[in-house]
Amino acid sequence: MLEMTKIRAERDEIITALRKRNIDVTEIIDAIIAKDQQWRSAKTSMESIASELNKMAKEIGEFFKSGKTAEAEAAKTKTADLKQEESQLKGQVDALENEITQLLYQIPNVPNALVVAGKNEEDNETVEVVGEPAVLHKNALPHWELTKKFDLIDFELGVKITGAGFPVYKGKGAKLQRALIQFFLDEAEKAGYEEFIVPHVVNEASAYGTGQLPDKEGQMYHMPVDDLYMIPTAEVPLTNIYRDVVLPDENFSIKMTGYTPCFRREAGSYGAHVRGLNRLHQFDKVEIVRIEHPKNTDRALTEMVNHVKGLLEKLGLHYRILRLCGGDTGFASAMTYDFEVFSAAQEKWLEVSSCSRFDTFQANRLKLRFKGSDKKNYLAHTLNGSALALPRIMASIMENYQTLDGIEIPEVLHKYTGFTRID
C-alpha cells in the first residue's frame, strides 16, 4: 500500500510512474488526497475538542472545590455537548480513514526506475541468458509422456482423487521431487536463510498484509466457514511473521526460507501451454523472504537473484533472466526478475522463479517498522523469491536430461535421490 505522505508529496511523480503499468490513477489519487484533507481537518477538530474537554474537566473540579456549583453545572452541560460533537467527529474520522484505506488498496505499487513501460510479457527485458539448449535425440518426449513412460507422475489419478491440476507423484518421481526440495532448503541454509515450517492456510489479515487481497481473491482457495485462505505461496505466512512488529534498531537483515505446497485456482487457464506440470492448482515450492533496511534493498535483491542463478547452474539448466515490464509486474511488486528455463523437448521457455522487491508497499500494510537512530519508526522493505518452484524444474530436468532409454539425474542431486538415473 502506498504511503499517504508520499502521495501528498509526490502526486505527479506517482501518477507518471504508474503509467508504466498502463493505468491512469489520477482520479483515484485526487480522491484520496481530497478525503485525506477532510480526514485531517476532522481529526484536528476532534483533537481540539479533546484538549478543550481536558481543560474543562480541571475547571469543573476547581468550581466544585470553590463552591461555584452553578458554574460547575454549566460547564458540565457544555462538556456533554462537546463530548457528543467529539463522538460525531470520531465517527467521521474513522469512516474517512476506512474510505482512504479502501481506495489505497486499489492502487498497485509504483514501478522502480529500472522498470520499462510495457503491456505484457512480450515487452519484458532480457537481462541475461546462460548456457545452451540441451541437444536431444530425435524421438525426445515432453515431460507428460516421460512421466507416463517411467511411471513417475499420475495425472489421471489426481483427477480421480481431486480434479485436474492435482497430480500424484509416484516412486522415483516422488523421490526426485523430495530431493529437489531438500536441495533447495540446504542451499538456502548455506546462504544464511533460517528455515520455518509455516501454516498452509492464512487469515484475511495476512492475505491483505502481503497484497493478495483485495487483488487476487479470485485466484485463492477460500474456506468461507472459517474465512481462511489456502496459501498461494509461502511468502504470505513467512512475511506475516513480522506483521505489527517494530524492529528495535536499524541493524537488521532478516532472511527466511520455507517449503510449502502452494494452492492457486488459476481460473481461466487451459490449453496445450498448461499441459502436464506447466500449470497446476497444487504445487511445491521453496521460498526465500527478506526484510531489509531500505538502504540494503538493492544489494539484497542482487543476492537473491545470484542465489537462484546458482541453483540453476548447479542443476545444469539453460536459463534466462527477464526484468518484467510495468504491465507484467505483479500488483505489489516494485520490480521483478523472472527466471525461465528452456525446455528443449517443448521448445519453449518455462518460468521457474520470480525475485521481487516490494519496498515499503507490503510493510505499510503489515505495519512492519524499525526504530531509527533518531528513535522514530520507519517502514522496512520486503523482498521475496522462488528458490525454487518445483513443477517446471521437474519438467525441465526430465525433458533436458532424457536419453534414449532413461533420464539422467543432475549430479548435485545424487546424494538426495539415492539413484543416478531413471530407467
384 is in an annotated binding site: yes
351 is in an annotated binding site: yes
Residue length, the chain? 423
Q: Is 140 within 8 Å of 346 (Cβ atoms)?
A: no
233 is in an annotated binding site: yes
C-alpha–C-alpha distance, residues 246 and 242, integer Å: 8
Its sign, for the CA torsion 36, 38, 43, 44, is positive
- Cα three-residue angle 21-26-30, rounded to 5 degrees: 140
Instruction: Name 143's Cβ contacts closer than 8 Å, sequence gap at least 6.
Output: 276, 277, 343, 345, 394, 395, 398, 399
C-alpha–C-alpha distance, residues 146 and 406, integer Å: 9
Kindly state the helix (H) or strand (E) to which residue 86 belongs, with its residue range. Answer: helix 69-104
When computed from its CA atoms, the radius of gyration of the chain, rounded to whole angstroms, is: 27
Query: Dihedrals φ, ψ of 344, to 5°?
Result: -65, -30
User: Within 13 A of 344's CA, how many CA atoms are on the CB side?
Assistant: 19
Q: What is the full DSSP assignment across 338-367?
A: EEEEEETTTTEEEEEEEEEEEETHHHHHHT
343 is in an annotated binding site: no
Instruction: Name 324's Cβ contacts closer than 8 Å, sequence gap at least 6.
Output: 115, 121, 124, 333, 335, 336, 337, 338
45 is in an annotated binding site: no
Q: Is 257 within 8 Å of 205 (Cβ atoms)?
A: no
Q: Is 342 within 8 Å of 320 (Cβ atoms)?
A: yes
Kindly state the helix (H) or strand (E) to which residue 59 belongs, with its residue range. Answer: helix 26-65
266 is in an annotated binding site: yes
21 is in an annotated binding site: no
Q: Where are the alpha helices (DSSP H) in 106-213?
A: 143-149, 155-161, 171-190, 204-210
Q: Is 229 within 8 Å of 207 (Cβ atoms)?
A: yes
**Binding site listing:** 233, 264-266, 287, 351-354, 384
- Residues annotated within the binding site for L-serine are 233, 264, 287, 384
Q: Residues marked as binding for ATP?
A: 264-266, 351-354
